[in-house]
């Protein structure tokens, strides 16, 4: 069995993907720029299934693929908001399947521009194999048959303060805090990153602050599932941190020249100082409103709550499932496409059965 090459393999998401795949007996290659970090993770995994590759993926990936072709490349190296398609294009040229965990709106929605070349090579190039749009689309696909029309979708994510946080994710969020976002379908007016705050109640967690975030779903789910009005938000468990970032967003909005992505490392270390007043529990909510098949107004509320710091497992599931299927020779859609509707909700949840994850839902 050819191995799965994980770029950023010792990072927050990469190491979880590596553990899951090796647990299924699938060989992996832990790739990155730090030999020490890669070797440290290698020692924690089955030695016979793990190897290490140290190189710069933006420069040396082609040489590596030419020398020792893996079955698929899983790219966890964010942030994707400022990334191009160099890595995906390199994989296409060498006939190697490609999957990423991108959440950049333009990056994921634009992956289809590589469709023709991916089809010509007979490979899969899948972008956004993460919570959004991987899990979010799975939820919508499951409950769309309950509606004749979905007028509104409100959904978001609030991680636990003590759950492990990655620098790339922090940079991604900071890249659009206080900045005007591409239009929110059906929202009316200009939306700004980390603005329009509100409180969301989660089962067993209580209320948490939420604010605007930019994700590919805002374009993809509207078009595919016919949702009229859609808005995604994210929140920090500790109110002081959430409102502090909201305040920084106002400064950016008023024209103060702040390089927030450049502060990502400092802000991440500062946020860690608040771990003692937070928990390891996080959640995601999806609220769909529209007209039911009986012609009456219908609301579907769906929640997933992760405890004991298991929240970061959730974004890795689509990449784990898809790369496992490729490694085992199972069918995966060919061409370049976003990860919308590729993972059924039951399969997604089944993959999380070993973790402290709870699902609740209700309708009205």
pLDDT, tens digit (0-9, with 9 covering 90-100), for 131-156: 999 999 999 999 999 999 999 999 99
0.75 exceeded by pTM = yes
| Helix, strand, coil abundance in the chain, percent, nearest 5 | 40, 25, 35
Give residue 264's pLDDT: 94
Give residue 15's pLDDT: 97
Opening angle at CA 107, ends 101 and 109, nearest 5: 100
**Rounded Cα distance, 142 and 117, in Å:** 32
**Rounded Cα distance, 312 and 166, in Å:** 10
The radius of gyration computed from the CA coordinates of the chain, to the nearest angstrom, equals 20
Give residue 185's pLDDT: 82
User: Which residue did the predictor score with more confidence, 73 or 69?
Assistant: 73
- Domains of the chain and any CATH numbers: 4-130+313-346 (3.40.50.720), 132-310+355-363 (3.30.360.10)
Confidence tier at 330 by pLDDT (50, 70, 90): very high
Residue of 139, 163, 137, 315 lying closest to 237 (CA atoms): 163
Q: Span 10-16, mean pLDDT?
A: 96
Q: Span 145-174, mean pLDDT?
A: 94
CA distances from 131 to 184, 200, 313, 318 (A): 19, 18, 10, 8
Residue of 200, 212, 290 lying closest to 246 (CA atoms): 212
- Chain centroid offset of residue 117 CA: 25
Q: Span 255-266, mean pLDDT?
A: 95
Q: Span 158-179, mean pLDDT?
A: 92
Q: Span 157-181, mean pLDDT?
A: 92
Q: Which two tokens stand for residue 154?
A: 């409100």
Per-residue pLDDT tens for 198-248? 999 999 999 999 999 999 999 999 989 999 899 999 999 999 999 999 999
CB 204, CB 285: distance < 8 Å: no
% of residues, the chain, pLDDT over 70: 99
Per-residue pLDDT tens for 266-288? 999 999 999 999 999 999 999 99
> Has residue 3 got a pLDDT over 80?
yes
Residue of 324, 209, 231 lying closest to 286 (CA atoms): 231
10 Å Cβ neighbour count for 122? 10
Give residue 36's pLDDT: 96
Instruction: Return mean pLDDT, the chain.
Output: 95
Give residue 4's pLDDT: 98
**Rounded Cα distance, 285 and 237, in Å:** 14
Give residue 49's pLDDT: 97
Confidence tier at 165 by pLDDT (50, 70, 90): confident
Q: Span 302-323, mean pLDDT?
A: 97
Give residue 122's pLDDT: 98
Q: Span 89-114, mean pLDDT?
A: 97
- Chain centroid offset of residue 271 CA: 21
Residue of 54, 41, 35 lying closest to 10 (CA atoms): 41
């Amino acid at each position: 069995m050819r191995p799965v090459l994980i770029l950023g393999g010792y990072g927050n998401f990469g190491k979880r993907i590596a553990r899951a795949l090796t647990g299924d007996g699938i060989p992996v290659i832990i790739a990155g720029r730090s030999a020490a970090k890669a070797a440290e993770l290698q020692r924690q995994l089955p030695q016979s299934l793990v190897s290490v590759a140290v190189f710069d993926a933006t420069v040396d990936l082609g040489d590596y693929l030419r020398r020792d072709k893996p079955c698929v490349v899983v790219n966890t190296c964010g942030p994707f908001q400022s990334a191009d398609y160099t890595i995906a294009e390199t994989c296409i040229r060498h006939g190697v399947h490609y999957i990423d965990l991108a959440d950049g709106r333009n990056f994921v929605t634009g992956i289809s521009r590589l469709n023709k070349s991916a089809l010509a090579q007979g490979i899969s190039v899948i972008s956004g194999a993460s919570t959004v749009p991987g899990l979010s689309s799975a939820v919508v696909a499951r409950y769309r048959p309950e509606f004749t029309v979905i007028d509104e979708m409100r959904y978001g994510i609030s991680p636990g303060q003590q759950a492990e946080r990655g620098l790339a994710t922090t940079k991604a969020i900071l890249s659009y805090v206080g900045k005007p976002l591409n239009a929110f379908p059906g929202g009316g007016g200009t939306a700004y990153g980390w603005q329009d705050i509100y409180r969301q109640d989660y089962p067993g967690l209580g209320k948490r602050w939420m604010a605007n975030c930019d994700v590919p779903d805002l374009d993809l789910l509207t078009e595919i599932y016919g949702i009229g009005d859609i808005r995604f938000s994210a929140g920090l468990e500790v109110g002081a941190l959430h409102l502090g970032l909201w305040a920084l967003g106002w400064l950016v909005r008023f024209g103060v020249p702040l390089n927030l992505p450049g502060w990502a490392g400092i802000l991440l270390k500062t946020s860690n100082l608040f771990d003692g007043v937070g928990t390891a529990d996080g959640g995601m909510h999806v609220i769909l409103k529209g007209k039911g098949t009986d012609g009456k107004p219908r609301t579907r509320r769906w929640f997933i709550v992760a405890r004991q710091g298991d929240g970061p497992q959730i974004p890795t599931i689509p990449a784990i499932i898809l790369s496992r299927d490729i490694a085992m020779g199972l069918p995966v859609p060919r061409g370049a496409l976003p990860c919308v509707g590729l993972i059924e909700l039951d399969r997604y949840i089944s993959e999380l059965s070993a973790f402290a994850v709870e699902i609740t839902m209700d309708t009205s």
